[in-house]
Amino acid sequence: MAVFRWGQPWDPFRDLEREVDRLLASVSLSMQGLRFGRQFPPVNLYALDNELLLTAELPGVRPEDLEVTVADGVLTIKGKRLGPEGVPDERYRRQERARGTWQRSFSLPERVEEDRLSAEMANGILTIRLPRAPTPQPRQIKVADGNA
Amino acid sequence: MTDEQPLAAMPGPAAEASKAEPQIVFTPPIDIFETEDGLVLLADLPGVSADTLELQVQDNKLTLFGKVRPPVGDDARLLHQEYRVGHFLRSFILSDEVDHERITAKLNHGVLEVTLPRVKRSEPRRIHVSSPG
């Protein structure tokens, strides 16, 4: 039996395209170091039995420079990555690492317990744990007899 | 006392590893900048810890190899993927200007920082020339 869903189901690629457009429009100017046409940070999303796991490659980002928020099924991560202080451009012999401020949002594919979300940074990898919300049980609704 | 090319990056092999360990190897992005005392190299190595990083100087070649463990077990199902998990490998040719003995390195939040001090030049020394008689 097909289950009717309100709105669109999770479609990462559509979300990605939308994100790319938005990033190009708003943030790209501040991310001059990102010349690979790749989104920053790249993320993976895994499904485990009782939680979803989002990982992001964020080398050099300190936890205090990172903000993770969730509201209404949309997870947002934003932050900044700075270069070494006091090093003028002419001192660089090679510059390949991305820097600047960035922000990304993801609509979550299913309901999660937003109060129980947790995030940690280790070795430049951000890991966000999203506990899956229990599937709501179907509830019987009594239909009153309007003729009574 | 400037050296135009003290460090020449060589592209690391980006090939599939052996079948026993089905991991890929990436060339990490780097920055190199000059300081008063020499050069500093920064490399992005997300997922690499001090335990899983090998940094080696042999002859005039500096090689970094960082191993990355998968973040989840095999039971996890991948719903969406933007990056692949793999190891990091890159080599550099060091010039004679770099004092190999004094190279130091540290790892901060997945970024390797290698300090490559310039060889100290001794002060010019006056040599007394004695004349016979």
Q: Which residue ranges form the domains of chain B, and what is each CATH number?
A: 36-70+83-117 (2.60.40.790)
The answer regarding whether domain A31-85+97-131 maps to CATH 3.90.940.20 reads no
Helix (H) or strand (E) holding B53: strand B53-58
pLDDT band at B22 (very low <50, low <70, confident <90, very high): very low
pLDDT at A136: 75
Three-class SS state of B39: strand
Instruction: Please confirm whether the linkage preceding A41 is cis (ω < 30° from 0).
Output: yes
Nearest residue of B to residue A55, measured between CA atoms: B71
Q: Is A124 close to B44, i.e. CB distance below 8 A?
A: yes
Contacts of residue A96 in chain B, CB cutoff 8 Å? 29-31
Quote ipTM for the complex: 0.74
Given 3-state DSSP classes, what are the helix, strand and coil percentages for chain A, each rounded to the nearest 5? 20, 35, 45
Measured distance CA(A104)–CA(A15) in Å, rounded: 11
Q: Per-residue pLDDT averaged across A90-112, rounded?
A: 89
In percent, how much of chain A has pLDDT > 90?
A: 41
pLDDT (tens digit per residue) in A113-147: 989 999 999 999 999 999 998 877 888 888 988 88
User: Residue A81, class by beta-carbon neighbours within 10 Å (0-12 exposed, 13-18 middle, 19+ buried)?
Assistant: buried
What are the two backbone dihedrals, phi and then psi, of residue A26, each rounded to the nearest 5 degrees?
Answer: -115, -40
pLDDT at B30: 95
Residue A26 clears pLDDT 70, i.e. is over it: no
Measured distance CA(B101)–CA(B42) in Å, rounded: 19
Q: Which of A53, A62, A98 sits opposite B76 (nearest CB)?
A: A53
pLDDT at B52: 95
Which of A57, A123, A125 is most worth mutating to test chain B (most B CB atoms within 10 A of its CB)?
A: A123
pLDDT at B48: 96
Q: Is A46 close to B108, i.e. CB distance below 8 A?
A: no
